Every structure is written in C-alpha cells, then in structure tokens.
C-alpha cells in the first residue's frame, strides 16, 4: 500500500510539473532576433589603403562588422614582403589567422627579428589586450584579424607611430 501511495505521489508531481511547464515558457523573454547570415567571397572584398595607424604599404578590407565601433568585427590585411609593424599594443584582444604568405610575430618592447616566431597559412595568433608585440611579413602576406571593436593601436615608442610622421619625414 505504501508503495502504491509513493508511486501515486510521483505521478501527480510529474503531471503538475508538465502542466506548469507551458505557463513558465510564456513568462520567459522572447528570443532575440538572430543576427543576419553573412556569406562573403574573396571577390566581395573592397580593398583599400590601411588606416593611417599602420605603416604605408598595407591594404585592408572589412569582411564583417565595423572595426571602428564597439562590437565584433572581421577584417583582412595584405602586407608586401618586408613589411614591419613596430612594437605596439591594442586595448582589446587581437586574433590573427595567416591566410597566405609568411608572417612573423614576437612580444616585447623592442623589435628583435631573431626572436620572432615564423607563421604560415592556417596558423593562428592571439595577443591579449595590452600585450606589447611586433610583426613582420617575410613575403607578400594576407592575414585575417577578428576581435571586438573598436580596433585601435598604440605604439610603445610614440616616434614609431605613422600618424605622427610628417610628410617631409616620409619623403
């Protein structure tokens, strides 16, 4: 008899829980509208000169998002052989995937080519925010950068900042 009573109690609780479930679902917030689906082919990219925060000679293209605003972004950069970015840091994490060519990176306040890690197509680098690092394209190279915007760069040595160079210095 006690066994039948225990079973009956469990059945009643299960029925009550099932009956209450739809009411609970109605009280929850409606789902957010999903983000738009994005398909971008390499032919869709609009390449142009890199922002003035990078040394002359690079080209960039935004793949998704807006790197100048808060929120996720994806962009690509093309560098000619020998292109260098002096020691710098970012206020947000930087994530790089090498798509083609040969790219080298290292951490620190002074560029030292001997300490740079060479990377090739498919390799990935994550630099946490504020980590001092520098980079070099050993040959013509294309990378993909993704992160949370806004994308910004601060040079360890302010004299390395291309935005501070005058037109007479670059001639």
Q: Is 150 left (phi over 0), alpha (psi -120 to 50) or beta?
A: beta
Q: Residue 2: what pLDDT?
A: 57
Q: Is 24 within a domain?
A: no
CB count in 10 Å sphere of residue 78: 20
Q: What CATH number should be reported for the domain holding residue 120?
A: 2.60.120.10
Q: Is 66 within a domain?
A: yes
Structure tokens given for 24: 């609970």
Q: Please state the separation of Cα 64 from the chain's center in Å.
A: 11
Q: Residue 165: what pLDDT?
A: 80
Domain enclosing residue 109, as ranges: 42-161
Instruction: Identify the helix (H) or strand (E) that includes residue 4.
Output: helix 2-27
pLDDT per residue, tens digit, the chain (171 aa), is: 555 454 444 443 343 344 444 444 445 555 566 678 889 999 999 999 999 999 999 999 999 999 999 999 999 999 999 999 999 999 999 999 999 999 999 999 999 999 999 999 999 999 999 999 999 999 999 999 999 999 999 999 999 999 998 654 544
Count of structural domains within the chain: 1
Q: Is 22 within a domain?
A: no
DSSP structure class, residue 46: -
Q: Is 32 within a domain?
A: no
Q: Is 99 within a domain?
A: yes
Task: From residue 80, give the alpha-carbon distance in Å to each of 29, 33, 55, 59.
Answer: 51, 41, 11, 9
DSSP structure class, residue 140: S
DSSP structure class, residue 50: P
Q: Residue 38: what pLDDT?
A: 84
DSSP structure class, residue 142: E
Q: Residue 30: what pLDDT?
A: 54
Q: Is 117 within a domain?
A: yes
Q: Is 11 within a domain?
A: no
Q: Is 110 within a domain?
A: yes
Q: Residue 141: what pLDDT?
A: 98
- Rounded to whole angstroms, the Cα distance separating 7 from 113 reads 75
CB count in 10 Å sphere of residue 46: 7
- Rounded to whole angstroms, the Cα distance separating 105 from 112 reads 10
């Amino acid at each position: 008899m006690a066994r039948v009573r225990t079973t009956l109690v469990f059945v009643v609780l299960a029925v009550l829980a099932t009956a209450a479930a739809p009411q609970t679902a109605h009280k929850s917030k409606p789902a957010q509208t999903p983000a738009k689906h994005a398909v971008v082919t390499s032919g869709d990219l609009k390449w142009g000169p890199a922002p003035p925060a990078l040394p002359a000679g690079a080209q960039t293209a935004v793949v998704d998002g807006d790197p100048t605003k808060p929120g996720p972004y994806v962009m690509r950069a093309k560098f000619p052989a020998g292109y260098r970015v002096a020691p710098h840091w970012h206020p947000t994490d930087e994530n790089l995937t090498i798509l083609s060519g040969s790219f080298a990176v290292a951490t620190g306040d002074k560029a030292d080519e001997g300490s740079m890690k060479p990377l090739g197509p498919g390799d990935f680098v994550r630099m946490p925010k504020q980590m001092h690092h520098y980079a070099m394209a050993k040959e013509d190279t294309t990378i993909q950068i993704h992160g949370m915007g806004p994308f910004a760069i601060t040079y360890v040595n302010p004299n390395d900042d291309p935005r501070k160079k005058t037109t007479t210095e670059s001639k």
